[in-house]
Amino acid sequence: MTDGTSDETAVLITGTRPYGGDPVDVLLSDGRIAAIAAVLARPDGARVIDGAGTVLLPGLVDLHTHLREPGREDAETVASGSAAAALGGYTAVFAMPNTEPVADTAGVVEQVRRLGEEAGLVDVQPIGAVTVGRKGAKLAELSAMANSAARVRVFSDDGDCVSDPLLMRRALEYVKAFDGVIAQHAQEPRLTEGAQMHEGELSARLGLTGWPAVAEEAIIARDCLLADHVGSRVHVCHLSTAGSVDVVAAAKARGTRVTAEVTPHHLVLTDERAVGYDPVFKVNPPLRTDVDVQRLRAALADGTIDIVATDHAPHAVQDKECEWDQAKPGMLGLQTALSVVVDTMVRPGLLDWRGVARVMSENPAAIGGLADHGRPIAVGEPANLTLVDPDATWTVRGAELASLSVNTPFEGMELPGRVVATFLRGRPTVLDGTLAAVQAV
């Protein structure tokens, strides 16, 4: 501090490279970025972090997280999911509403937000259900959730599709009033009855009912047309097929207000993982073909797909370690997402670090309406930041992850890139790759 007083909340990061650029010192104070220069003096009382060799990014934002609380605290809690998020470099997550009870009222979304504030590791922004109980029969209290203390702006029945076109139209009309967005789980239900994996030669050989690509593509096409008609925003959850990329690209070309996400696992894993019937690889939408994987990577690189979202889906042991057809779909993702993106997009040269910031922080924050996240690394901006060692590698061990569940598809794999530190409003939530002592935000 220049006035001679001590600033014990200040953090000076030395020699880090914002967006992978030239090394600089970055000073955080009072929750914001206070200074950036080639060399900065250490303020009295400030913590100093050696950032040599690291890349500094805006804090990551996940638009698609399942935190399971209330109702399934045996699989995940808001606190444990927040810890996993912070360790994965996230400063904000959007919590999907398929809890028990379903987050379809102002009371439940406010409860989820309060639990996030109590955990204090990331900003937890609830997503409200589109329909009552996610049953697809009657619209939920969209305006009440939007006007609640949780200020919900994203609505989804994720896990189920809003398949009724009239309900989807009405939902799009409601959220337009407050610039909200409907995040659709694109799955035509009649075409996927009993589906267990991607429909193709392999599903026939394994004797598992197929989930055809057209079941996703048809709903995306319908919803883009409805969004056009209403003039509202629609977001495609976990887009998984090459054909879906074509549909979204065509809609964007004609001006539709559509955005789309891809999961890390759909960027690297294929339906071949179903051989062996290991339920850890069962997910919805299913793992697709290598042709789809390569197209998804290209679409993320060229901007057709806007963001990476984890679809972090913890499941208790009894729900996952069972016969394939009985297992619940879903995979952990918060602590491995950045490393998978480094492996599949950065190392092959499809994205640079500015691109990573765009698809994992800036765009998801903008879609979800979070004003203080996904901001530029510049003086005066909120100090929600992530420090990454791009050269580090680590081996994934499900039992060592912060989630209460262990259903990671990357068990035993060595992945590149490691989160060194995470800062929420200038306060370290992660230091040296481990959770920091948490104080009130």
151 shares a domain with 211: yes
Give the residue from 347, 368, 389 where a domain finishes: 368
Tell me the CA distances in angstroms from 266 to 201, 217, 237, 291, 340, one per residue in order: 19, 16, 12, 11, 10
In a domain, 373, yes or no: no
In a domain, 4, yes or no: no
In a domain, 308, yes or no: yes
CATH code where residue 155 lies? 3.20.20.140
* Domain, as residue range, for 47: 11-56+380-434
Nearest to 294, CA basis, from 216, 240, 335: 240
Name the average pLDDT for the chain. 97
List, for residues 305-359, the tens digit of each pLDDT value.
999 999 999 999 999 999 999 999 999 999 999 999 999 999 999 999 999 999 9
The full 3-state SS of the chain, as one line of letters, equals CCCCCCCCCCEEEEEEEECCCCCEEEEEECCEEEEEECCCCCCCCCEEEECCCCEEEECEEEEEECCCCCCCCCCCCHHHHHHHHHHCCEEEEEECCCCCCCCCCHHHHHHHHHHHHHHCCCEEEECECCEHHHCCCCECCHHHHHCCCCCCCEECCCCCCCCCHHHHHHHHHHHHCCCCEEEECCCCCHHHCCCCEECCHHHHHHCCCEECHHHHHHHHHHHHHHHHHHCCEEEECCCCCHHHHHHHHHHHHCCCCEEEEECCHHHCCCHHHHCCCCHHHCCCCCCCCHHHHHHHHHHHHHCCCCEECCCECCCCHHHHCCCHHHCCCCECCCCCHHHHHHHHHHCCCCCCHHHHHHHHHHHHHHHHCCCCCCCCCCCCCECCEEEEEEEEEEECCHHHCCCCCCCCCCCCCEEEEEEEEEEECCEEEEECCEECCCCCC
In a domain, 439, yes or no: no
208 shares a domain with 78: yes
Average the pLDDT over 181-189 and give the result.
98
% pLDDT > 70, the chain = 98
- State yes or no: pLDDT of 2 exceeds 90: no
Q: Find out whether 58 is annotated in a ligand binding site.
A: no
Catalytic residue among 223, 271, 311, 319: 311
Q: Is the pTM of this model over 0.95?
A: yes
131 shares a domain with 103: yes
247 shares a domain with 284: yes
306 shares a domain with 177: yes
pLDDT category of residue 440 using cuts at 50, 70 and 90: very low
- State yes or no: pLDDT of 23 exceeds 50: yes
Q: Find out whether 352 is annotated in a ligand binding site.
A: no
Average the pLDDT over 189-211 and give the result.
98
In a domain, 360, yes or no: yes
Give the residue from 319, 344, 368 where a domain finishes: 368
In a domain, 336, yes or no: yes
Identify the burial level of 239 via C-beta atoms within 10 angstroms of its C-beta, where 0-12 means exposed, 13-18 middle and 19 or more buried. Answer: buried
Nearest to 306, CA basis, from 350, 352, 256, 366: 366
Q: Find out whether 98 is annotated in a ligand binding site.
A: yes
Q: Find out whether 68 is annotated in a ligand binding site.
A: yes
404 shares a domain with 416: yes
Task: Report the number of distinct structural domains present in the chain.
Answer: 2
311 shares a domain with 204: yes
Q: Give the pLDDT score at 124.
A: 98
Tell me the CA distances in angstroms from 322 to 203, 241, 279, 319, one per residue in order: 19, 28, 7, 7
- State yes or no: pLDDT of 250 exceeds 90: yes
pLDDT category of residue 9 using cuts at 50, 70 and 90: confident
Q: Find out whether 67 is annotated in a ligand binding site.
A: yes
pLDDT category of residue 169 using cuts at 50, 70 and 90: very high
356 shares a domain with 300: yes
208 shares a domain with 92: yes
94 shares a domain with 50: no
If phi > 0 it is left, if psi is from -120 to 50 it is alpha, else beta; for residue 374 that is: left
Q: Find out whether 158 is annotated in a ligand binding site.
A: yes
The question of whether 311 is a catalytic residue gets the answer yes
Q: Find out whether 74 is annotated in a ligand binding site.
A: no
CATH code where residue 23 lies? 2.30.40.10
Q: Find out whether 329 is annotated in a ligand binding site.
A: yes
400 shares a domain with 423: yes
pLDDT category of residue 28 using cuts at 50, 70 and 90: very high
Q: How far apart are CA 307 and CA 237, in angstroms?
A: 10
In a domain, 119, yes or no: yes
Q: Find out whether 311 is annotated in a ligand binding site.
A: yes
Q: Find out whether 284 is annotated in a ligand binding site.
A: yes
Q: Give the pLDDT score at 141.
A: 96
Give the residue from 312, 334, 368 where a domain finishes: 368
Average the pLDDT over 79-99 and give the result.
98
172 shares a domain with 51: no
Q: Give the pLDDT score at 7.
A: 77
In a domain, 79, yes or no: yes
% pLDDT > 90, the chain = 97
